[in-house]
Amino acid sequence: MLDVRDLRVEFPGRHGSVTALDGVSLTIAAGEILGVVGESGAGKSMTGLAVQGLLEPPGHIAGGEVWLDGRRIDTLSEREMQHVRGREIGAIFQDPLTSLNPLFSVGRQLIETIRLHLPLGRAEARQRAIALLAEVGIPGPEERVDHYPHQFSGGMRQRVVIALALAARPKLIIADEPTTALDVSIQAQITSLLRKLCKEHGTAVMLVTHDMGVIAETADRVAVMYAGRLVEIGPVADVIARPSHPYTRGLMGSIPTLGARVPRLQQIDGSMPRLDAIPKGCAFNPRCPHVMPRCQTERPELRPSGSGLSACWLNTQAQERAA
């Protein structure tokens, strides 16, 4: 359903262009949830914005291609993309309160979105809005459709945002940190709902988050990003149980394990590099405990590693020895 090929995003500046995404390639099938994970500044949200054509100028796609259901969309005009957003690509953002207009009832916002993208009259659109609220688990949707966002709890507001994302039956939903503003029990409900709706509607989902727990509960595959690059991608169970890249191992090692007593959690020394100071070779090499001279001069490409792909010279070296 979604095919991103060698995507490159740049931001021009006084001292030259800064590369925010560098050669990102990924695919998402219909009915599949791809989790995109990494530290702040890794390029997760930037990838979602680039797919939607929502990059803030002067940022722009400097290379690569974005295909949605067999149609290239990164070359479309802004007017053409307005018809794609909402109708073919839905979005769920981090804070549901800022995603909804406080001056209009949730029903009015749903009806407006439905009528903008689907050939329905007002009465039919209202019935669809009520059906959507019921589908996402809003109790008493016939009454709640006329309520305002401030009359809903945080979890219920996020359900309304999910209903808005589904309003026009999109082919792809980009969910950017959809559970961060919610408590743990509500997080579980929202991730379960998102997975259920994805399977029922056959919708492809890009789930952007920094929480590996959410990825483990929700996604089918996971893509790990670092400094605007993909460093590992594969089935969730395999990446969590047997991470191939040292950065992924660091992320997994920093998560507490129930029942295990350890003096200290594992940590990744250092911090994400600035976009204008990304090191040569592997971008992770200044923080990697297994760095080799080759890592500091040559950039590793994604290569088969187990059931997925990993961009690490350690895996390449192991494969060369085995051969």
Say if residue 87's pLDDT is above 80.
yes
Say if residue 229's pLDDT is above 60.
yes
Which pLDDT value is given to residue 21? 96
Sheet holding 71-72, edge to edge: 16-28, 2-13, 60-68, 71-72
Q: Report yes or no: 164 and 113 within 8 Å, Cβ to Cβ.
A: yes
Could you give the residue ranges of the DSSP H alpha helices within 87-183? Answer: 96-99, 106-117, 122-135, 141-144, 154-166
Say if residue 61's pLDDT is above 60.
yes
- Both tokens assigned to 313: 């010279």
Say if residue 258's pLDDT is above 90.
no
Identify the structural domains of the chain with CATH numbers, from first to last.
1-88+171-182+196-256+272-323 (3.40.50.300), 100-169 (no CATH)
33-37, 48-52, 313-317: range with lowest mean pLDDT: 313-317
- Residues 169-225 pLDDT 10s: 899 999 998 887 677 878 888 888 888 888 888 999 999 998 888 888 899 999 999
Residues 6+ apart with CB under 8 A from 78: 53
Which pLDDT value is given to residue 15? 82
- Residues 112-137 pLDDT 10s: 999 999 999 999 999 999 999 998 98
Q: Span 253-263, mean pLDDT?
A: 77
Q: Report yes or no: 58 and 13 within 8 Å, Cβ to Cβ.
A: no
* 322 confidence band (pLDDT: 50, 70, 90): low
- Residues 263-305 pLDDT 10s: 777 788 889 999 889 999 999 999 999 999 999 999 999 999 8
Say if residue 320's pLDDT is above 70.
no
What's the predicted TM-score (pTM) here?
A: 0.91
